[in-house]
Amino acid sequence: MGFNFHYLISILPDLFVAALINVRLAIIIITLAVVLGTMLTVLRSLKLRLVNAAIAVVISFVRGTPLLIQIFIAYYVLPVVGLDLSPEVAGVAAISFNTMIFVSESMRGGLASIDPGPLEAATALGLRPPLIWWKVVLPQLLRRLVPVLINEATIVVKGTALLSVITVVDVLRTAQQIASSSYRPFETLLGAAVVFLVLNLSISLAGKIAEVRFEATRT
Amino acid sequence: MRFDVSILVDYWSLLAGGAWLTLCITLVAFALGYLAGVAVALVAILPGWLPKLVTGIYIETLRNIPFIIILFVVYYGLPFSGIRLPATLVGTVALALFASAYYAEIVRGALQALPRGQFESARVVGMSPAQAMWYVVAPQVLRTLVPPSTNMTLTMMKESAVLSSITVPELTYQSLIVQGNTFAPFEVFAAVTAIYWLIAIAIAELSRQLERRVGTAQVHSILANPIAARYLSLDARRPT
Amino acid sequence: MTPPPILRVSALRKEYRGTRALNELYLDIAEGEIVALMGPSGCGKSTLLRCLTWLEQPDDGFIEVAGRPFGRVLTPGGMVRRLSRREIDALRPKIGLVFQQFNLWPHMTALENVVRPQVVVLGRSRAEATRRAEELLGLLGLADRAGRYPHALSGGQKQRVAIARALAMDPALMLFDEPTSALDPELSGEVLSVLKSLAATGMTMLVVTHEVGFAVNVADRIAFMDAGAIVEEGPARAVVSNPRTPRLRNFLELVLDKSLVSAGNTLAHSQTE
C-alpha cells in the first residue's frame, strides 16, 4: 500500500477541526499559567524561608520529571486522594501546573533586568508594595515576557497532544481513530503533524509581529 | 493516608529495569542526536541561501511538531519502506532525530557568537578549515555549549517517557504496568517521580562537572541595592 | 638580473554589490622594502589585505608571492585557473598578517599561540617549534610573558605575540593592518620601533595605516590608494611633502593639522640623530 497524497489532503479539514480542541485547551492552560505564575512570583518575592524552600523542591520535581508522568499523576493519582476529574480537566490541570512553574522561573530571570531606579523613587514617594508591584514591576515584566510566552505557547500546544494518551479526543486521537478505520496510519499521522506545524508556525509568526509592535511602544 | 511500600518492593525489578532502559535510551539518543545536530549546524553556517533553507526546514519541522507525533510518524512510516525494526530502536532513533534539531540550533548559535576573527586568524597562518575548527573554534565554543546542551538533554530524557506509547519497556511503561496490576497509583507514581528526579539530578551534576572542566560562561551579578533586591530577586539569600 | 618582487599584484579587481572595492590594482614590493599603504576610509585598503591573504576572493587579477602564484594562476594555454584550497593554504604561511584586533587565541598561552601553528601547519616538532617561539618572543621583549594568557596581556604585548605568531611561520612578506589604531596613541612610538627592528632584519613589509606621520617614519615607500586603485606612490617623504595628484593633496590637507605636525617633529628629531 503506497503513500496516498490525496488521502492526506482529504482528511486535513477534519483534523483542523479537531485541532480546535487543542487550541481551546492551550488558551485555558496559558491563561491559568500566567495568572497563577504571577501570583507565585509575588509570593516568592516575600522571601519567606520555608515557603520558598518548599516551592524550590516542587520546582525541582516539576522540572525534573516528564510532563507525561505529571499528566498521569493528575489522571490516576488525584482520584485516589478524592479529586475525581475528567480527563480534560486533569490534563489541563497538569499542564497548567507545569507551565505555571515555567512562567514564574521566567519572571525570575526577567526581574533581574528591571531598572531599580523607578522602584526607589516609588518607595521614596511612599507607595505601598502591592501598588508598586501592580503599577511598576508587573507591566515591565510582562512586556519582557511576551517573546518567552509566545515560545512557551508553542510548547503548550505540543503538550496538549499528550492528552490523547489519557483519552482526550484531540487532533492526535482523532487521527488515530481515522487511522484505525482507514488502515492508513502514516498519512493520518502525517496529517496531524502538518496541523501542528501550521498551528505553531502561526503562533510564532503572530509572536514576531507582536514583538515588533511591542518594541515600538517600549520605554 | 496509606503508603504501601510492599508494592514497590514486589515490583522493584520491573521499575529498575525500566529506569535502566530510560538511561540507556537517553545516552544513545544524546550521542546520535548531538552528532546529527553538529552536522546540521555546520551545514547551516555555509555561505549561500540553500544550506540555510534546507537546515531551516529540518529544524523548524522537528521543533514545531510534538514529539509523540514525530515518534508515531517514524514508527508507522518505517513499515511502509519495508523496514521493520524493534520498537526500542525506532524510539531511540526518533528521540535522537527530535533532539538533533534543538542541538543544531544550540551549536549554530554558539558558532555564530564566536568572533569571525578567530577562525580567520587560524586560516591565515595556513590551517585548513578542519584544523581551524578543531584547534581554535571548538575549544572556545565548548564552554558556551554546556548549559544549553544540558538543558536539552534533560528535556530529551523527559520526552523518553513518551516512548511508552509504542510499548518500549522504559520507566513510564513499567509504571503503567505496575499500576495496572496493583491499582496503587500513588505509590507507583511517587516512586517513578522520584526515580526520574534522581536521573535528572544525576544529569545536572554531570553537567556541572563538565562545566568545571571546560570553564563556565556565566558571570554572576549581585544585587546590592536593597530595594532592588526586594522586588527583583526571589532568592532569600543575602548577596555578600 | 633583478630578483622577482616579493609581492606582485596585477589588475586586482573586487566588487561588492555593484561597487568596485578594488579597481585594477597594481602593486609591486621588492625584497626588504617597507611600503606604507594609505588612503581615505573606504578606499579599499582592508579589502586589499583580505584579498592578499585570500580571506576574500578577488574577482579578477593575479597575486604572486616570491615568484609563486597565489590564488589564481595563468596557465600556459592562456586560461586562468583558480588554485585548489590546498595549494592556497600551502602558500599562506609565506604571507604573514597581523590583524588590527590581533585575534590571539584566548584558550592558549602566548607561547602556545606561536607554537601551535608551527606544529600543525608546518609539521615542526614541538621542541623545535617551542625553541623558535621562545626565540621570537624573546626578541620582541616578551620572554617573561610567554606563559601568560592573552587576557592578561596589554594591547602592545598582544600585538607583539601576534607578530611573533606570524613570524614563526617564516613568511616572505608581513602585512600589518592599522598597527597603531587598536593601541593608545602614546604607544605608536613602540610599534614604530618594533616594526623598524623587524625591517632591519630584511623583512619585506606592507603596512596599512591612516596615520601619515607613522607612515613617513616607518616606510621606504608610500602608496596612496583611492577608490580601489593606487593613485600615487613614491619615496615616503617625497610623496608627502610634494604630492602630485590632487586626490593625495586633498587627503593630506584633511589629515595635515594633526599628524604632519608630529611627523615634522619626528622627522626633524630623526634627522638630528
C265 pLDDT above the threshold of 60 = no
Q: Is residue C2 part of a domain?
A: no
Tell me the C-alpha distance between C228 and A159, whole Å.
58
Model pTM above 0.90? no
Q: Where are the domains of chain B?
A: 5-232
A158 and B228 within 8 Å at the Cβ level: the answer is no
Rg (CA), chain B: 22
pLDDT at C271: 54
Q: Which chains touch B (3 or more CB pairs under 8 A)?
A: A, C
B140 and C120 within 8 Å at the Cβ level: the answer is no
CA A189 to chain CA mean position, Å: 23
Asked if B83 has any chain A CB less than 8 Å from its own CB, the reply is no
Q: What is the ipTM score, two decimals?
A: 0.87
Distance from CA of B131 to the nearest CA of C (A): 8
| Chain B neighbors of C166, CB-CB under 8 A | 125
**A and B: number of Cβ contacts within 8 A:** 150
* Chains B and C contact (Cβ–Cβ under 8 Å for 3 or more pairs): yes
Tell me the C-alpha distance between B38 and B96, whole Å.
12
CATH of the domain at C24: 3.40.50.300
C215 pLDDT above the threshold of 70 = yes
Cell 604572486 sits at which residue?
Answer: C64
Distance from CA of A96 to the nearest CA of B (A): 17
Distances (CA, A) of C137 to B142, B162, C132: 29, 59, 9
| Chain B neighbors of C99, CB-CB under 8 A | 117, 120-121, 124
Q: What is the architecture, at CATH level 2, of domain B5-232?
A: Orthogonal Bundle (1.10)
Cell 634627522 sits at which residue?
Answer: C271
CATH of the domain at A30: 1.10.3720.10
Asked if B139 has any chain C CB less than 8 Å from its own CB, the reply is yes
> Which residues of chain A are modeled with pLDDT < 70?
1-2, 214-219
A69 and B73 within 8 Å at the Cβ level: the answer is no
Of B118, B124, B127, the CB nearest to C120: B127
| Chain B neighbors of C121, CB-CB under 8 A | 125-127, 131
pLDDT at B218: 42
**What is the phi/psi pair of residue C141, to 5°?**
80, 25
Asked if B140 has any chain C CB less than 8 Å from its own CB, the reply is yes
Q: Is the dihedral of CA C151, C156, C157, C162 positive or negative?
A: positive
Q: Residue-wise pLDDT tens for chain B (240 aa)? A: 567 777 778 888 899 999 999 999 999 999 999 999 999 999 999 989 999 999 999 999 999 999 999 999 999 887 777 778 899 999 999 999 999 999 999 999 999 989 999 999 999 999 999 999 999 999 899 888 998 999 999 999 999 999 999 999 999 999 999 988 888 888 899 999 999 999 999 999 999 898 888 765 543 333 455 666 666 666 554 443
Residue among A65, A201, A202 with most chain B CBs within 10 A, to mutate: A65
In chain B, the residue whose alpha carbon lies closest to the alpha carbon of C115 is B125
Residue among B165, B172, B221, B232 with most chain A CBs within 10 A, to mutate: B232
Question: How does pLDDT run across C36-56, given as a tens digit for each residue?
Answer: 999 888 888 989 999 999 999
- Give burial (CB, 10 Å; 0-12/13-18/19+) of A130: exposed
| Chain B neighbors of A111, CB-CB under 8 A | 231-234
Please give the biggest Cα pair distance in chain C. Answer: 57
A161 and B66 within 8 Å at the Cβ level: the answer is yes
SS3 sequence, chain C? CCCCCCEEEEEEEEEECCEEEEEEEEEEECCCCEEEEECCCCCCHHHHHHHHCCCCCCCEEEEEECCEEECEEECCCCCEEECCHHHHHHHHHHEEEECCCCCCCCCCCHHHHHHHHHHHHHCCCHHHHHHHHHHHHHHCCCHHHCCCCHHHCCHHHHHHHHHHHHHCCCCCEEEEECCCCCCCHHHHHHHHHHHHHHHHCCCEEEEECCCHHHHHHHCCEEEEEECCEEEEEEEHHHHHHCCCCHHHHHHHHHHHHHHHHHHHHHHHHHHCC
Asked if B56 has any chain A CB less than 8 Å from its own CB, the reply is no
pLDDT at B232: 65
A44 and B234 within 8 Å at the Cβ level: the answer is yes
Tell me the C-alpha distance between A175 and B66, whole Å.
14
pLDDT at C241: 86
Tell me the C-alpha distance between A150 and A141, whole Å.
14
Distance from CA of B143 to the nearest CA of C (A): 11
Distance from CA of A136 to the nearest CA of B (A): 10
B131 and C121 within 8 Å at the Cβ level: the answer is yes
Which residues form the domain of A9?
A: 5-217
Which residues form the domain of C189?
A: 7-271
How many domains does chain C divide into? 1
Q: Is C270 left (phi over 0), alpha (psi -120 to 50) or beta?
A: alpha
Question: How does pLDDT run across B123-140, given as a tens digit for each residue?
Answer: 999 999 999 999 999 989
B185 and A47 within 8 Å at the Cβ level: the answer is no
How many domains does chain A divide into? 1
C168 pLDDT above the threshold of 90 = yes
Q: Is residue C1 part of a domain?
A: no
C267 pLDDT above the threshold of 80 = no
| Chain A neighbors of B197, CB-CB under 8 A | 60-61, 64-65
C11 pLDDT above the threshold of 80 = yes
